[in-house]
Amino acid sequence: MKRIAETLDTVRATTSRNAKIYALAQAFGTIAEEGDDALRNAVRISLGEQFAPSDSRSTDAGWQSVATALAHATGASDATIHEIMRRLGDLGDAVEELLRTRVLPSPGFPLSDVEKLWASVANESSRKGKADLIAEAFTIATPLEAKYLAKTLLGEVRTGALAGVVLAALAKAFDQNLDEMRRAHAVLADVAEVAVLASHHDLRSARITPGKPVAPMLATPMEGSRAPIDWSRVIVEDKLDGIRAQVHVHGEHVSIFARGHGLITRSFPDVSAIFVDTPFDVILDGEILVVSADGRVRPFQSLQPRLGRVSVDADTLRDAQAIFVAYDILYLGTEALIDLPWHARHEKLEELATTIGVRVHPFTRVGGAPDLEVAFAAARGRSHEGVMIKRIDSHYEAGTRGAAWLKVKKAAATIDVVVTAVEQGHGKRASMLSDYTFAVWEDDALVDVGKAFTGLTNKEILELGMRFEDLTIDRHDGFRTVRPEVVLEVAFDGVQRSRRHVSGFALRFPRIARVREDKTAEQADTLETVVRIFQAQLASGHREDIHPPERRTRKRVAKDSGQLNLFFPVSSAGEVGRTQQNPIRSRRRA
């Protein structure tokens, strides 16, 4: 494991995409000589993954488990661990620093055993047992190896090497065509398995397999597409406001995958029950929605009681009844259908609907832009987000966002907000301060209501980045608290309750409309405006006020030129999460 840990440190230290690719390619080429298991584990660690996307297991080992393991492995006190973690801003880095104080050298952790470690931790039910297993691994691993074991457990492997970079590195390492790598990833949705195929020069064997998620085809916002629309060759569907999901029937099993490829079958037993008697294998693409007793589709918020549940009780099943609406079919019987045009796939979907009773999403035809406006208004009247435009001759382009599918949405409103914190971006923007946490006024304090990272050009982001360098109050790893002086106009699709933000609210799908150079921070909008928009959505039926969360408490600590708000999120298991820091300034002092 030493090689991949050293490589990830190198990758983390550079902002050059090409340098990241080169370093990873060199490592993957060498590690492949150790066998397929070692290569799989190296790729998963690089991406911060523990198991394959189709694997429902979870280590369920959070901050407290890792901290306890570190205390066992080093004899350090909780206070010492907390102090070092706060200074470094990252528990994984604290693991490395503390383990370097050991007197006896460690033999090193075998890379091929990493998944076995995750499996052991996942199978252990007690938190003490989990911590003991992690502590044992820490005693075997070198400090650098232990750092990346901890980061993988915590989901904090932030090196700027996302799936695209890793795929490019694998293509370089094994002299494979990058387009073929991407296609293999689209149908397998598992970079580690693509890596093994690439190492054996066998990418063409990648096949859609029921039970393993397929990367979903994605839609391009209509304003982002310059392609002309031939209205005779498209259909229009309502854009549903639910959870994008794939239903896989494979043998006697039914698996439901979310858009991010995670298994959500246990959260939706009422959906899987629809397919238990299906006599053949099938993969359907569609949306999970919650409906009322009269069949009316309820807003997205009504899905929240169902999310992340290992088991769902009878009351929840009754109060938040879920349905699955299919709008595409990717596999039927023994045949993959993604290379068929949309109209042919839809015919097969409708035939299937008559056989097993699945709901199929209806579509309509429009003759031009005026008809599209009518269809959009009708969709909004049915409490949906907007409409989708799909070419009837388009193949299912797994994992691709192209012009064959367009989504038409309109911002619910825009408000002026103040940036309170910034973070380094990801992918092509890994070297930029491109992720902005923003706030509105509540009396004389700023309270966060969201985070945005889209809407600005690279040039605008670079210019803002220089400003934020000067405005930085505090920094932890890639996260910076900044003096609240930059005002943005933010567009969004709605407002929802939130436990994440001290305001108690969050903007849905926020994107930056422009930088408000003409406004000072004191002229930004207020929480009262946000609440008013939320209440208007309740009145129109586009939101429900379900289980309003308790607002977080605030602790104000004076620091530097302003005030610093420290919020300490606590999970249901009682573990203290990563501290969210936000500057706060009194209007009277500004």
Q: Which residues participate in catalysis according to the annotation?
A: 239
CB atoms within 10 A of CB 161: 26
Edge to edge, the sheet with strand 562-567 lists 555-559, 562-567, 580-584
Which residues make Cβ contacts (< 8 Å) with residue 230, sequence separation at least 6? Answer: none
CA torsion sign for 56, 59, 60, 63 is negative
How far out from the chain centre does Cα 323 lie?
23
How far is the C-alpha of 119 from the C-alpha of 210, rounded, in Å?
23
Can you tell me the distance from the alpha carbon of 54 to that of 188, in angstroms, rounded to the nearest whole number?
A: 10
For the chain, what is the radius of gyration of the CA atoms?
25
Distance CA 186, CA 135 (A): 37
* Strand bridging mode 218-221 / 401-408: parallel
**Which two three-digit tokens encode residue 543?**
């939101």
Beta bridge partners of 450: 438
Contacts of 392 (CB under 8 A, 6+ apart): 233, 234, 235, 341, 342, 343
Q: Between β-strands 433-442 and 445-452, what pairing exists: parallel, antiparallel or unpaired?
A: antiparallel
Instruction: List residues bridging with 387 in a β-sheet.
Output: 238, 408
Show the DSSP H helices in 425-526 as ranges: 458-471
17 near 426, Cβ under 8 Å? no
254: nearest Cα among 358, 397, 183: 358
d(CA 73, CA 62): 17
Looking at residue 577, its amino acid is G
Please give the structure tokens belonging to residue 402. 């192209």
CA distance 178 to 184: 10
* Residues ≥6 apart with Cβ < 8 Å to 295: none
The DSSP annotation for 302-336 comes to GGGGGTT-SS--HHHHHHTEEEEEEEEEEEETTEE
Q: Where are the beta strands (DSSP E) in 251-381?
A: 253-258, 282-291, 321-332, 335-336, 359-360
Instruction: For residue 15, give the DSSP letter.
Output: -
CA torsion sign for 291, 293, 295, 296 is: negative
Residue type for position 276: V
Query: Could you tell me which of 338, 264, 342 has the C-alpha nearest to residue 303?
Result: 264
Question: In whole angstroms, what is the distance from residue 495 CA to residue 510 CA?
Answer: 10
Task: For Cα atoms 266, 288, 509, give the angle at the middle one, nearest 5 degrees.
Answer: 110
Q: Which residue has 């959505």 as its token pair? A: 537
